[in-house]
Amino acid sequence: MTAKVCILGPSGRMGRALIDAAAGRTEVRVVAAVDRPDAPGLGSQVVAGLTSSADAAAGLAASDVYIDFTSPAATRSIAKLAREQRRAAVIGTTGLTAADEAELAALAQAAPIVVAANFSLGVNLLLGMVQQAARALGTEWDAEVVETHHRAKRDAPSGTALMIARAIAAGHGADYDQVKRHTRDGDVGARPRGEIGVSSVRGGDVIGEHTAFFFGPAERIEISHRASSRSIFAAGALRAAAWVVGKPPGRYDMLDVLGLR
Ligand code: NAD
């Protein structure tokens, strides 16, 4: 079966990557492309026979599933529309607030949705590896996460860095919110045992790099992932779109899609 897909933000970095990655695939077909009313190139051709439009309700209605890599505000408002239509969704937007998450939870009551801060196979495998390392090493080994992204990225730390840090906390058996330390500045004192630090670097056109560090006595482990093309996220999101159509309502993630749970 071919899933009919609506792409949000075709003028964006991920929107373009999704449209490129969908070309030539049989499991998905792009049938609608919805952008914000003031987006550059609105109304221009996205793929043969399809132009972008600002009519989100019509774009969702024409499709089986929509793919959203936009902004938290857009993700929230389009999730409201999608709930009315019980439309399946693949959500990659990061930096979501509690209010945005609540809107996704409401959509997941009505439709199946896949939400992931990172759609790459490599990062989803890495999450299992860091959790296992944290469990084996315990808090005697200081765990830190460092992420690097391009200068246009708005949210920090990256959603992927937060997933990695949460996987470390799960490995330690800790509550992440009690042990997290997002960047350090000033007289912060000695590092408490069990703290999990996350630091963000921004610059140039870096697509996404993450390293989990485990500092032991006289030795260190580094587990890294480097993305060299947005095509890896696009391929994962399209795979998720084909997978999610027809599933029961609920919230799923890439471990479900990849069969790794
Ligand atoms: P971008 O700024 O290049 O693109 C955002 C797009 O969203 C633009 O085309 C914009 O016009 C569009 N948009 C904004 N409001 C809209 C609305 N109301 N309706 C329709 N379209 C709207 O950003 P980007 O680099 O493509 O990243 C987008 C998001 O995806 C960010 O949150 C980023 O962190 C996230 N991201 C996630 C993954 C992942 O694997 N989950 C990977 C890369 C990026």
pTM for this predicted structure:
0.95
Instruction: Give the model confidence (pLDDT) of 37-82 as tens digits.
Output: 999 999 999 999 999 999 999 999 999 999 999 999 999 999 999 9
Q: Which ligand 1 atom minimizes the distance to the CA of 237?
A: 40
Q: What is the dihedral of CA 148, 154, 160, 164, to 10 degrees?
A: 80
Identify the pLDDT of residue 1: 87
For residue 72, say if its preceding peptide bond is cis, omega within 30 degrees of 0. Answer: no
By the 8 A CB rule, do 52 and 34 touch?
yes
Among 177, 149, 178, which residue's Cα sits nearest to residue 161? 149
d(CA 73, CA 224): 31
d(CA 19, CA 81): 22
Contact 6 CB / ligand 1 (< 6 Å): no
Identify the pLDDT of residue 261: 77
Asked if pLDDT for residue 216 goes beyond 90, the answer is yes
Give strand pairing partners of 45: 51
Q: From the CA of 15, how far away is ligand 1's center (Å)?
A: 7
Tell whether the torsion through CA atoms of 151, 155, 157 and 160 is positive or negative: negative
Is 180 one of the catalytic residues?
A: no
Q: What is the mean pLDDT of the chain?
A: 97
d(CA 77, CA 56): 10
Above pLDDT 70, what percent of the chain?
100
**In the numeric block, which tokens belong to residue 92?**
């990659």
Is 149 one of the catalytic residues?
A: yes
Instruction: Give the model confidence (pLDDT) of 176-210 as tens digits.
Output: 999 999 999 999 999 999 999 999 999 999 999 99
Contact 94 CB / ligand 1 (< 6 Å): yes
